[in-house]
Structure 1
């Protein structure tokens, strides 16, 4: 088991969102065998693997539907490690800008179900991925829990300018 570090930034307006992220910043290494270290009869680096640095770009839009509190958010995620590129698509439903749930298609690998909630500036999420091909097909799926802090940045909001009326002078 090893620590895997990721970082990203996102930009959200009322009707559009986009983001960039770098995954596996520390390029964690692991041994693909079940033992905690290299077997005694193998060279230390012969079975040692490293997860390569990869980049993600996401974009989507917000569509208000039948109820003012409900939004449908179609989105796309482009993932690349500069040797392999994949496109994932998703549709998320958001209720009251606080609760969300959705489904995604992970290229040819499978699909995911996810849900989340926002409490103050902390966004929490859960996802379950089901694999239909590849190495994860026999695994029974995977679970993911995420936490994100949302920094309030008011870069484009103008402060009201003080003024004096000439009638009152």
Structure 2
């Protein structure tokens, strides 16, 4: 238990400026998390839920959840989206909620979208007991205090295109690079001279993603490679490459390689026309894999359409009022 919190303390400056958005291996099923321009592009109301448990075996290791809903709105010539995310690592918790809009237009037998998302970010420290390298505990005015919270706002922009054969998008999140202020003093009333502030900065993120759908001739198998590049052009850049096979549009399985970090396998099943679910398991290939287990991730997606029949032209006669 002590190791994870010592790591958090010594790496707090990195956490404050490094990649902050959630990481999902099954990104191809959760494109709207990374790009607001996806909203409404599928022509159906879709509800997606994901849970990720990372570095299983470490106490206090990261766990992440994401719930998003997007729907096409014809009168708005596009779609709306609601995104809710939660990320817990040790004593730190980040909760985000955002509302987005995308304008969709037909282009070359496909759909081109331009999207905007506005988001509220909350960062908090739970009931922490900081542990020093020598094993001692206690109050340190230079460390973020327990039971403290900060709130800020930010946004994201994106462009996304898809047709029956391929899809691609580019987006940027945390555009304003706003900061969240957390108090370093447990009790400012008792220790007013020790009260200081730690700023957690939102670092601008960039995403490039794309995929291709290839139906293998004379078979019921589709091959669907995809890629996601994540970067903040500073602390880190990550590339995920996935190759997935889909049988009879029902069952799929694939392999993902995350450059220098992990290899993952994913499987899934389309239960009904509307409902599908998937699972992935990451095996770390960096140093941290020697200290704990891999990462588990599950997702559930439900999509449906609400069709309103067109109004029938003509007149209605009632024999009582002839």
Q: Same fold (TM over 0.5)?
A: yes
2:223 corresponds to 1:79 = no
How many angstroms apart in 2 are the aligned matches of 1:24 and 1:122?
Answer: 32
Q: 1:131 aligns with which of 284, 290, 312?
A: 284
How many angstroms apart in 2 are the aligned matches of 1:39 and 1:139?
Answer: 33
How many angstroms apart in 1 are the aligned matches of 2:265 and 2:292?
Answer: 16
CA change 1:85–1:105 in 2 (3 A) is same
Structure 1 position 44, deviation (Å): 7.5
CA change 1:120–1:14 in 2 (3 A) is same
CA change 1:95–1:58 in 2 (3 A) is same
CA change 1:5–1:62 in 2 (3 A) is same
CA change 1:96–1:4 in 2 (3 A) is farther
Q: 2:247 aligns with which of 88, 91, 95?
A: 95
Give the aligned partner of residue 33 of structure 1.
none
2:274 corresponds to 1:121 = yes
Cα-to-partner distance string for 1:77-122 (whole Å, 9 max, x where unaligned): 1112232322221110011223211001000111111112233234
How many angstroms apart in 2 are the aligned matches of 1:59 and 1:151?
Answer: 24
How many angstroms apart in 2 are the aligned matches of 1:120 and 1:99?
Answer: 13
Contact 1:21/1:57, CA 8 A, preserved across alignment: yes
How many angstroms apart in 2 are the aligned matches of 1:24 and 1:146?
Answer: 25
Give the aligned partner of residue 219 of structure 2.
68
Give the aligned partner of residue 294 of structure 2.
141
Identify which of structures 1 and 2 has the higher relative contact order when contacts are C-alpha pairs closer than 8 Å and 6+ apart. 2
How many angstroms apart in 2 are the aligned matches of 1:136 and 1:21?
Answer: 31
Number of residue-to-residue matches in the alignment: 145
How many angstroms apart in 2 are the aligned matches of 1:128 and 1:54?
Answer: 25
TM-score by length of 1: 0.61
Structure 1 gaps of 5+ residues are: 30-37, 153-169
TM-score by length of 2: 0.36
Larger radius of gyration: 2
Structure 1 position 13, deviation (Å): 2.6
Equivalent position SS for 2:291? helix
- Bigger drift between 78-87 and 100-109 goes to 78-87
CA RMSD in angstroms, aligned pairs only: 3.9
Give the aligned partner of residue 95 of structure 2.
3
Structure 1 position 56, deviation (Å): 2.7
